[in-house]
Structure 1
Amino acid sequence: MAKGACEMSTSSLIEIQKVFRTYIDTNDNKVEALNDVSLFVREGEFLSIIGPSGCGKTTLLRLLAGLDSPDSGSLAINGHEIREPGPERGYVFQQGSLFPWLTVEKNIASGLKARGVYKEQKTDVARYIELIGLNGFEKSYPHQISGGMAQRVAIARALINRPSALLLDEPMGALDSFTRADLQDKLLELWKRDQTTMILVTHDVDEAIYLSDRIVIMTPRPGKISEILDVQLPRSRDRGSIEFLTMRSKILEKLHLASASPQPEYAI
């Protein structure tokens, strides 16, 4: 077991214990996505999960969201086993997945309406539009705004429900470098403001270092935790500093070692 994977803390928000998940692919082949994964996520921390394509990162995030179930093992939040989606866990997809027929403000309000609390919390919609910097775009539809703006809306839509944890599945993966850096700073601003626990799946090592308190490195399939690294660089972080670049080189080396035995690629 990777160092740190099972270090229980009284302030742990999420507990993942001995999780296994296997799929049957389109050719009826057995695909072992996750193998004996255990992890405790501290309340209020920013955690990133990195690893090669197909190593089970998104599978693990979907299990935490309650969109999938493990073959064995358990996942819990606030001591309650995760069996289905719930408002205490916000989820942001890679492409945002906004409702195309709703405006920016109505997309953000959709979660409140689904929970039946819109009347009590409708003033939060304008507040979150201001927090994500989209004043003036309230009546715009998804096709009328940029990809970066759409991802801001998706993040606000998830955060307005005041979740205990925000699950982020490569939400900045399709953005250009400038927009990506801008959204990273906005995400950090929201994280510092609300102290929401955030779990980010990413392929970008620089992004993981810039945002995270800890970084989980996963092996190729079957996905296991290879190592958990503490990011001890002070905030705000300078991507060009010696300390940042040294950690980047260290993580790239560890990713190379974790991927030393390449596995067949499957789309999961």
Structure 2
Amino acid sequence: MSLENLIEIAAVSRTYLDANENTVEALKGISLSIKKGEFLSIIGPSGCGKTTLLRLIAGLDAPESGKITLEGETITAPDPHRGYVFQQGSLFPWLTVEKNIAAGLKARGVYQKEKGEVAKYLALIGLEGFEKAYPHQISGGMAQRVAIARSLINRPAALLLDEPMGALDSFTRADLQDKLLELWQRDQTTMILVTHDVDEAVYLSDRIVIMTPRPGTISEILDIRLPRPRHRNGAEFTALRSSILEKLHLASAGLQPEYAI
């Protein structure tokens, strides 16, 4: 993994108005450097601003104060070079699997030049034979693979993952985690994952960012030094998971975090 920083988050804060016109402080003074080629996970209790931070990195929202840069350039708007995968995948229901993947190329105006990449990414995500299927004809896990391929086909500098496995059953989730690792190791695309699942964070990550309840701040950043492939029932994995759960309780200042094991 390169030690070069790809994304710099400097003293970022974000507030917004809720449905009752009350000011809500979502993030306060977030500073974080994200390395090129690393797999970073962000965990914390519900409402701590994890998704808000991811949206700011994506350029889908703007900070009240502070700055976020990618390779020195300030992020001000969405860009295909920062792929975003939502919890439900958000596939276009009227397009087939292959056309959903191709949508990324068409949005950039390079489809005619790079359309051969669609078959390549179908193979990479293991969905050969499902090219002509529509989203309602495939499983949730398959749909998330398509959403990931649709982002990766643009060869983004960073792939932003907003709990993409949160709605899947445990077997499908584990399978998709392995596929995500395979894709990450193949291209070394920087991946930033928001998750409630402590096991998932430990299994996938180089580093884990633990956030506090609102206003979201960074409580701690952990280096995960377990060798790969990782074994979920191994003694080191189990000990690290227990330690992180304790840290989550401390970071939550008595609030019960929501996470899955």
TM bin (shorter chain): over 0.9
Residue 231 of structure 1, CA deviation: 0.2
- Indicate the residue corresponding to 1:16 in structure 2: 9
AA of the residue aligned to 1:13:
L
Find the aligned partners of 2:142 and 2:255 in 1 and give their Cα distance: 37
* Aligned 1:26-41 pairs, distance under 5 A: 26-41=19-34
SS at match of 1:236: coil
Q: Does 1:236 align with 2:215?
A: no
* Aligned 1:1-268 pairs, distance under 5 A: 11-262=4-255
Find the aligned partners of 2:81 and 2:87 in 1 and give their Cα distance: 20
Normalised by the size of structure 1, how large is the TM-score?
0.94
Find the aligned partners of 1:169 and 1:36 in 2 and give their Cα distance: 21
Find the aligned partners of 1:240 and 1:36 in 2 and give their Cα distance: 37
Segments of 5+ residues of structure 1 without an aligned counterpart are: 1-8, 264-268
Find the aligned partners of 1:111 and 1:151 in 2 and give their Cα distance: 15
Residue 120 of structure 1, CA deviation: 1.0
SS at match of 2:176: helix
Segments of 5+ residues of structure 2 without an aligned counterpart are: 257-261
Find the aligned partners of 2:63 and 2:98 in 1 and give their Cα distance: 35
Normalised by the size of structure 2, how large is the TM-score?
0.96
Find the aligned partners of 1:88 and 1:154 in 2 and give their Cα distance: 15
Residue 261 of structure 1, CA deviation: 4.6
Find the aligned partners of 1:79 and 1:119 in 2 and give their Cα distance: 31
- Indicate the residue corresponding to 1:4 in structure 2: none
SS at match of 1:48: strand
1:35-90 superposed Cα distances (whole Å, 9 cap, x missing partner): 00000000000000000000000000000000000000000101100000012100
Find the aligned partners of 2:81 and 2:69 in 1 and give their Cα distance: 12
More divergent stretch after superposition (153-162 vs 254-263): 254-263
Find the aligned partners of 1:106 and 1:130 in 2 and give their Cα distance: 15
AA of the residue aligned to 1:185:
D
Q: Aligned Cα RMSD in Å? A: 1.1
AA of the residue aligned to 2:34:
V
Find the aligned partners of 2:52 and 2:24 in 1 and give their Cα distance: 12
Is the contact made by 2:3 and 2:36 (CA closer than 8 Å) also made in structure 1? no
Residue 262 of structure 1, CA deviation: 3.8
What is the aligned-residue identity percentage? Answer: 76
- Indicate the residue corresponding to 1:266 in structure 2: none
Deviating above 3 A after TM superposition, structure 1's stretches of 4 or more consecutive aligned residues are none
Find the aligned partners of 1:185 and 1:10 in 2 and give their Cα distance: 24
Find the aligned partners of 2:57 and 2:102 in 1 and give their Cα distance: 23
Find the aligned partners of 2:220 and 2:70 in 1 and give their Cα distance: 22
